[in-house]
Each structure stands twice: as structure tokens, then as C-alpha cells.
Structure 1
Amino acid sequence: MTPGALDGLLVADFSRVLAGPYLTMLLGDLGATVIKVESSDGDQTRGWGPPWRDGQSTYYQAINRNKQSIVLNLKDPADRDLAAELARRADVLVENFLPGTMRKFGLDYDSVSETNPGIVYCSLSGFGSHPDAAGLPGFDLVAQAVGGLMSITGEADGPPTKVGVALVDAICGLHGGIGVLAAVAARKQSSRGQLVEVSLFSSLLSALTNQAAGYLMGGVVPGRAGNAHPSVAPYEVFETRDNSIVIAAGTDVQFVRLCQCLDLDALSSDPRFSTNSARVSNRLELRELLIGALKEWTSEEAVQRLSQASVPVGPVNDLAAAFKLAETLGLDPVWDIDGVDHVRAPMTMSVTPPRPTSAPPMLDAHGTTLRAWLSDNDAGADVNRNHEAMPTSVI
């Protein structure tokens, strides 16, 4: 089997719910050995259903493949010692408890780095570790609300609306993963690890990109505009004779092509629409004119004709149609793991591709083997980037 890019990297995963497990799953996809530490109740997402598959929550299964599970009670001295030993042997530790929690168990960065100076310690939180933020609830929905995302999501005359998935959690996990990989790369130069801190709040502010820049640089506090874009037109959802499509004509050339395709050539030279700035200022009027022409076509016809004219366009798919499209495009969006379909890792790599190696583990599925390994002083003697002593059934 082709080795993964992160083969030999040992990750101690003390995280739960979404941001941390998503991060560590991607590291596992890339070849890292991920040991998931859980309480006797297990990761909360194990109980987040419906839907279910084979008695397990599909939510939990979505973000926990390629891992081993061990139950450790961090309030129990013996289990706490095993957790400390795991942290001592690990290359990377990921946790997303409330700030200060890991310190209570002697598993904070300062404590772990004393015995393992090479540790890359990633701490994820809702709002950071500052005392004023430490007690704030680290939930995606709260972050979407207080971080401004809901204020720009939804119809202009409707209520603030959340995104249809815990997007801030996923973004935070990705930012945390970038920080972890950067710290691992830096360790090759200094032989020392470091603390990586990422919060849902800061991740969201970064991901707001143009909207955040519009406020910081232009003094504009954006509001909700439905599916319209604040700076580009036409760039939104349009109704056809039978359904809806999106058109993203982001350049003047694309707009000219759109007008030609819809037999609306005069619009491209009309002063109200001849430039993007003018189109944004007159978006509602432009929208009505475009919908009037699109009502002559079905969505399938519109997508086909506009695509042929090199106008960015697409149908508004549900998930079933989205996966079907990905298949037809050769993206191979699904991994079969023990007869269950999983969304494949989104990156492709020509030499060290990500791969599925195991299904999401049952609670404490590897507890016996891992406890024996962690209790074996000889196995862990040559710590810091050398895990040859780990049992092959685990690594």
C-alpha cells in the first residue's frame, strides 16, 4: 500500500463533536495514526440522530473514520496517567474542551511540553482563551450569530438565517489543520513543537473575506440580500419555467454572452447595465428582465444553453443530485468503508493520496490494546517521532 503523507505521525485526539474530530479525521485520511480519547459516555455526536446507520449516528460516522477509540476517565488518577503517557508519546495533540479544562488534568500545553517538547498542541475553542471569552459557549450556531454570518444570510425582508450545516465548525477544523501542519513543518527546523490556538469566532471572521474587508476598509456594514452578491451582478438564483438555477456572470464579457444567449443584446450596452458597478446599482431591475427571458426555458434547457455560451450557470441541486453530478464528473466523491458510503477526502495527491483505512470506531474498540501499549514503558521509551514500538494492529 502506498504510504500516506503523514504516515508515522501520532495524533492524540481529545476533541469531540465537529471541529476537532473533522480536523483529526483529515489527518487520519492522510496517513496519521489517530487515537481518539473518549469518556465513558462517548463523543456527544454518537447520540446525535436520526439519521442512523447500523445503529450508529451518521453525524458521528461523518467525522471519525481512520481512528482508534479508547475510553479514559480523566478524573481517575490511573486513567489520567495513561492520558499523560499518550500525550508524551504523541506528535500532535488536539483538544477542544473549555479553556482551562485540560490544565485541571495536567494535560495543558505547558504541562505536556515539559515531558514532550516536540508536541504540536492544537487547542480549539469557541472564542479563544482570554479570560473574558473562556466561559462563552463554543457552539457553531452561537458563532454564526455573534460573528455576523447570520446577519448577512437570508432574505432582505426576512429573519437572520443560519447556514444549513455547521460550517463554522468545519472552517475552524480546517484552519486548525493548517496550523498543525505548519507547526509540524516548523518542528523539522527547530526540533520543538508549539501551541496552536484557533477559535470558531476568529475562523469565521477570517472566512467572511470580502464582507469583512468591506466593513474594515470601506466602512460598510452589510445586511441580508437573499441569494444576491453585494459586489457582483448578475450573481444569484433565477427562476426558470419549472425550477431555479444560479447564474454567476462575474465579468463584463460573461454578461455580454448572457445577454446574447437570452436575446437581450441591448442590455449589455445599456448604461444601467454596461458595467458591473452599474449592474449592482440596478440589480433588481436587471433581475426582472433576466427572469422574463428565462421563464421561456426549463432549468435543464437554460443550463445547457448558457453553458454552451460559456456563461457560469448551474442547477440548484439537492444532495442526491449533487453526488450524482460529482460521479459523472469523475470526482469519485464516495469511499466505501466496510460496505458503508463515506464522503471521500476532498484532496487528491499524485504520490501520497489520502485513503480510508478503517470505519469510525465503536466506543473503546481499541481500549484493551492501547492500554497495554501505554502501560508498556519499553514501548514508549523512545518517544518523539519514533513509534515503531506501537502494535501493528493499532498503528
Structure 2
Amino acid sequence: MNQSLEGLRVIDFTQIAAGPTCTMMLADRGADVIKIEPPSGELGRQLGPPWIEGHSVIQLALNRNKRGIILDLKDPADVEFAQSLIDDADIVVESFRPGVMERLGLGYPALKTRHPGLIYCSISAYGQAGADCARPGVDGAIQAVSGLMSTTGFADGPPTKMQAPVIDMVTGFFATIAILDALLLRSQGGAGKWLDVSMYSCAMQLQQTALASYLTSRDLPERTGNAAPYSAPNEVYETADGWLLVAAYHPARWKSFCVCLKMPHLTDDHRFATSPLRVANRHELTTLIAPTLKQRTTQQWVETLSSVDIICSPVLDYQAATRSEQFKRAGLSAQVMQPGIGEMRVVPPMTFEAASGSTPNVLRPAPTLGEHTDEIRATYTKRTAQI
């Protein structure tokens, strides 16, 4: 894939998921990412199950294409070495609680005087300032406090956490965008800068439409389970052998859907004349159409509805999803030989080039703890001697 960041060096002080996602994306694009870990390893190495040969699969998945070095930041000599690495780098990404890097002498205010072009990205739960900045936070806690969890689940059940760590992931994505933006500005003659990326703010950005709806109407969203709160029918229905998502709320698709159900009379029912009315009368609509949808298999409905351009998808588990032709065509699985483990299948870096024939790849597996310590120290020692 195109190595657009080749030649840039990133010093990575991150752990768990949000920060490592950001530095992984930079590494995927060719940056030389040096991941710094304490002698005991970053906290992500303890995250599991699942495990493979005693290693956290989650940690391995988020640290590909990086080099790893052990530094004890409680040791002044190792702190001095970290400063030297930063002097020779373009970007620092850290995910400690606010104040930790400053206490180590590695905060942005101390570094910018010796390295004015440094792009320094701090990833935290609540940001570098404010009443909550010292509080710890993880994906689930931010799902809760940001309001996201209050919108998920069914009306008669509790708020529900999304199983995928969506806040960690989107924070890593936003941090990457912020760093690329800073790099572009620097290339146009600007200086380095300190980027403050909080999981909390990113969680709010993730909810653009839902928050805009609330701030306009002041109506709290109801938990609607698998149904979209803004349109109907646009939800999951049970079939004879599984589940099916149907989005048939546009006027033409609504009429076609009723024909497919052999219930054309529903288009004349005043309760269902528009999508807002169908939202308001969702329970009555579901009661009428659910029995019909259960009479045929998911695949039969997919074929019938797709033939008249109705948006629909089977609800697949991971086994079925990863065996699909779409998954294979998109090249979303790659093999990597992980040291000490052997073959491992992972989701590779994405390529966005249309019709290029390029395929995503993983260039380097996640480093074992301290795998490149000697290599990096030797390189630095040789360079210092030359100076």
C-alpha cells in the first residue's frame, strides 16, 4: 500500500486501545513508530480473553507495524534516552493521565523549546483541562457518561453497552486525523503543536445526528432496540431461520415492501402514510408485518426484497460475516507470522485506492515486549558517537 508517511518517526507512549489504534494507523502508512513500554509491558498485554499462546490477541491486533523498546521511565537515564528519541522524531503520541508526562519531564511545554516542530498528541479520557481531567476512563465508562449508552437497548430493558469498543476506535481515528492535519500545516510553514484528543469529546462527535436532534427538540431519545428512531420500517425482523434488517422507509420502497409482503392495503392505512407516522405507530406496524416475515427464510427475503431495490441485510455472526464474498473481496483478512506464536489472522490496513489492484497488507507483526530495544539503542549510540 502507499507509504505516505515514510520518513516520519513517531514515539509511542500509548497503551490499551485508543492510543495504539492511532499509532497503528500511522505505522500502517509508513511512519517508523517506536512503541515504548515499561519492563512489565503496557497494560494492553493483560487484556483478555482471548489469548493466544499466553499473549493478548487484542494487544497484538492493535500494534502491528511498530518497533518495540523497553524503557523504565522511573529511571532518569531512560527518561534522558526517551528525550533523545523525541529530539529525532516528528510526532509523540501519549495516553497517560494529564500531568504524568509533565512530571517525567516529557510534557509538551518542556519539549517544545528544544523541538519547536514537534507534533505532540495527548489522548486521555476527559482532556487535558477541566473538572474531570484527572479522572480515569475506559470505553464503557465514556459510553455511559457521554449519553451513548442511554440510547441503546430496548425500551423495557436496561441501557446497553456496545460490545465493540467504538469509543476507543473513534478516538484513535480522530487522533490520526488531528495529527495528519498538524503535519499538513507544518509542511506549509507552520510550527509543531500540542493536540488534546479526549475520548469524551470524540464520543460526542460520534453522536452528531442524535445530539443535534436532542439539542433542537429537547426530546430525550427513547431506546428503540434494533429500530432506527428516525424512520420506519428500518429495523430487524425475525425470519423463519434467523434475522433480517429491512430499511424500506423511502416512499417508493415502502410501497414495494408492502407488495412483497402481499399486504398492499397497508399503503392506504392512514397510520402508515408517511415515515414519521410509521415511527409513531411502529408497534402496530410491527405487529401486522412480523408474522409474514417469519414465514420465509432470511435468504428468501433477501432475494425477494433485493429484486425490487429494497435495502436489506441478513444479520450475520462473525463466522458467517468473515466467510462472505464481500469480506473476501474487500481483503479484510491477512496472515501474519507472530514471533513466538506462529500464523495469526488479522484485519489488515485498509487501502482506499479505487481499481488500483493494490491489496492491504501487514508489513510487520506486533513487537514482542522489548523486541527492538537493542536495535534502537544501538542506532542511537552510533549516531551519538558520530556527532
State if a TM-score over 0.5 links the two structures: yes
Q: Which amino acid aligns with 1:358?
A: R
The 1:256/1:240 distance shift into structure 2, 3 A limit, reads: same
Separation of aligned partners in 1, 2:386 and 2:92: 16
1:380 deviates by 9.3
Contact in 2 for aligned 1:345/1:354 (Cα 8 Å): yes
User: 1:5·1:353 contact (CA, 8 Å) conserved in 2?
Assistant: no
Partner of 2:346: 342
What is the TM-score normalised by the length of structure 1? 0.92
How far 1:307 sits from its partner (Å)? Answer: 1.5
**Contact 2:231 2:249 (8 Å CA) reproduced:** yes
Structure 1 counterpart of 2:381, which letter?
S
Aligned-CA RMSD value: 1.8
Q: How does 1:201-212 map to 2 (within 5 A)?
A: 201-212=200-211
CA deviation digits over 1:348-370, x for unaligned, max 9?
Answer: 23679754111111000000111
Q: Which residue of 2 aligns with 1:30?
A: 29
| SS of aligned partner of 2:30 | coil
Q: Shift of residue 377 of structure 1? A: 4.3
How far the C-alpha of 1:230 sits from its partner, in A, is 1.2
> Does the Cα contact within 8 Å between 1:126 and 1:143 map onto a contact in 2?
yes
Q: Which residue of structure 1 lines up, in the alignment, with residue 119 of structure 2?
A: 120
Quote how far apart the aligned CAs of 1:141 are: 1.1
> Does the Cα contact within 8 Å between 2:331 and 2:359 map onto a contact in 1?
no
Structure 1: how far apart are the matches of 2:55 and 2:336?
A: 14
> Which piece of structure 1 moves more, 50-59 or 25-34?
50-59
Whether the 8 Å contact between 1:4 and 1:353 is mirrored in structure 2 is: no
- Unaligned stretches of 5+ residues in structure 1: 382-395
Aligned to 2:256: 257
What is the identity percentage for the equivalent residue pairs of Structure 1 and Structure 2?
37
CA contact (8 A) 2:321 2:327 kept: no
Higher RCO (CA 8 Å, separation ≥ 6 residues): 1
Give per-residue Cα distances to partners, 1:59-111, cap 9 Å, x unaligned: 11110100011011111111001111111111111001000100011111111
Give 4+ residue runs of structure 1 displaced > 6 Å after superposition. Answer: none
Provide the secondary structure at the position in 1 that maps to 2:237. strand
Give the superposition deviation at 1:242. 2.1
Task: State the match for 1:98 in structure 2.
Answer: 97
Alignment of 1:307-318 (within 5 A): 307-318=306-317
Report SS of the residue matched to 2:171.
Answer: helix
The residue aligned with 1:360 is: 366
What is the deviation of 1:323? 1.2
TM-score, normalised on structure 2?
Answer: 0.94
Q: For this pair of structures, how many residues does the alignment match?
A: 380
The C-alpha deviation readout for 1:222-255, integer Å capped at 9, x for no partner, is 1311111111111111011221111122411221
Map of 1:47 onto structure 2: 46
**CA 1:379 to 1:293, structure 2 compared with 1: closer, same or farther past 3 Å?**
farther
Deviation of residue 151 (structure 1)? Answer: 0.5
| C-alpha deviation, 1:199, in angstroms | 0.7
Per-residue CA distance 1:263-305 (angstroms, 9 max, x = gap): 1212223221121111111111111222122122111211221
Instruction: Name whichever of 236-245 and 250-259 sits farther off.
Output: 250-259
- The whole-number CA distance in structure 2 between the counterparts of 1:18 and 1:353 is 25
Q: What does residue 369 of structure 1 align with?
A: 375
Bigger drift between 101-110 and 46-55 goes to: 46-55
Q: Report the equivalent of 1:386.
A: none
Q: Secondary structure at the match of 1:190?
A: coil
Maintained 8 Å contact 1:120/1:180:
yes
Q: Distance in 1 between matches of 2:157 and 2:72?
A: 47
Q: Are the counterparts in 2 of residues 30 and 355 from structure 1 also a CA contact under 8 Å?
A: no
What secondary structure does 1:272 align onto? helix
CA drift of 1:49 comes to: 2.4
| SS of 1:349 mapped into structure 2 | coil
SS in structure 1 opposite 2:134?
coil
